[in-house]
Structure formats: structure tokens, C-alpha cells
Amino acid sequence: MRPAICGTSHPASQGEHLISHYIDMLPAPDQPFSFHGEQIGVTTLTSARLQERLLDGPPPVLSPNSDSEADFIRRFGAALGPSCWREFAQKRLIGERLDAANARIAGNWERISQAIRKITLPAEFLGQVLANAGAPRRPQELGWPSSFYATAVKRAREIRNRYTFLDLAADSERLDLIIPAIA
């Protein structure tokens, strides 16, 4: 097995994988079986749509995160809540970290968004590739109820210490507004 080029799988496992892992960890009642690849196809389309919406908009302005460990225990339960909190707390943007992130985004958004656009494929193209392969493209095709999937998209970022477009959208208070259009 070859080691990861950067020493970790983070670049290859972003928001789309977090959504899939959330769904595996906290499945909907009577959720039918689906393959990981099918899940990633659907969640990749969601992530691509999210990226497009953020990149097409103004530079995000991040707000401080006010979640607490108690919030995570309420959401994930006593067994999972503390471990999710430990992961999430490492990437929380508050104080100087928040100020530095906002300054970096404000001063570099055009360069950042152009660099990301150069290496991403449009959601429409990805959807056509999946359609041509006969693969699922919508959460409902995997038996995921819309409200369950919307919750998975919203909460997936809370299970790992990995800052993704899910975090960028949530921290800029756009995720809840975008979810109905992308999920």
C-alpha cells in the first residue's frame, strides 16, 4: 500500500465523505442498504453544488461558533457526543483564529476561489457522469428521506476535525439557506 502523498487522506476525503459517514453512523429508521460508492456519488453532487454556490457568492464572513460539548451530547448522545466534540473543538473558529481566517478570506478570496475552480468539476458534469453510469444522483434514490438528508448535510461537519466547505458555509451562516437548494 502506498502512503498518502501528504501523510493523510484529508485531501481526498472532504465534506462528501463526512456526509456519508454521518449517514452510516446515524442512519435513518429503516434505511435500506447502499454501497459506499453510491453514497459518495450522491454526496459529491451535494458538495459540488455547495462549493459552486459559495464560490459564486461574495467572500464569506465567518461568525464565531457558540456550540458547546453539551450541545454535541444532546445531538449525538452520551456515547458519541464527547468524541465528536473533541474532534470539532479543534477546528472551531473563535477569537484570534476567527479574526485571522476572516482576514485571510477577505484579502485572498478571488485567488482562493480561482484556484479551487481550476481543480473542480462542475456539479452538472458530475451529475451527467453518474447518470451515464446509471448511478444514483439524489438522496431519495438511496432511500434517504429529504429531512434526514438535510440534517446529515448540516451536522456532518461536526464529526471530524477537518475544515471543509460544509464548515465554511456553516461558519458564514449560509449552510441552512443553501441546503434546500443542494440536498
Residue 110 inside a domain? The answer is: yes
Cα separation, 155 vs 10, whole angstroms: 18
CA separation (Å) from 124 to 12, 17, 44, 114?
A: 20, 19, 11, 19
What pLDDT is recorded for position 8? 53
* Sign of the dihedral defined by the CA atoms of residues 82, 83, 86, 88, in that order: negative
Residue 23 inside a domain? The answer is: no
**pLDDT over 70 percentage in the chain:** 93
Residue 6 inside a domain? The answer is: no
Query: 143 is in which domain, residue-wise?
Result: 35-182
User: Which pLDDT band, with edges at 50, 70 and 90, does 5 fall under?
Assistant: very low
Give tens-digit pLDDT for 45-83: 999 999 999 999 999 999 999 999 999 999 999 999 999
Residue 64 inside a domain? The answer is: yes
Question: Residues 6 or more apart from 83 whose CB is under 8 A from it?
Answer: none
Mean pLDDT, residues 27-34 taken together: 92
Task: Kindly give the interhelix angle for 36-56 and 123-132, rounded to the nearest 10 degrees.
Answer: 160
What pLDDT is recorded for position 29? 87
pTM, entire model: 0.91
Q: How many domains does the chain have?
A: 1
Mean pLDDT, residues 99-116 taken together: 96
* Sign of the dihedral defined by the CA atoms of residues 27, 93, 174, 162, in that order: negative
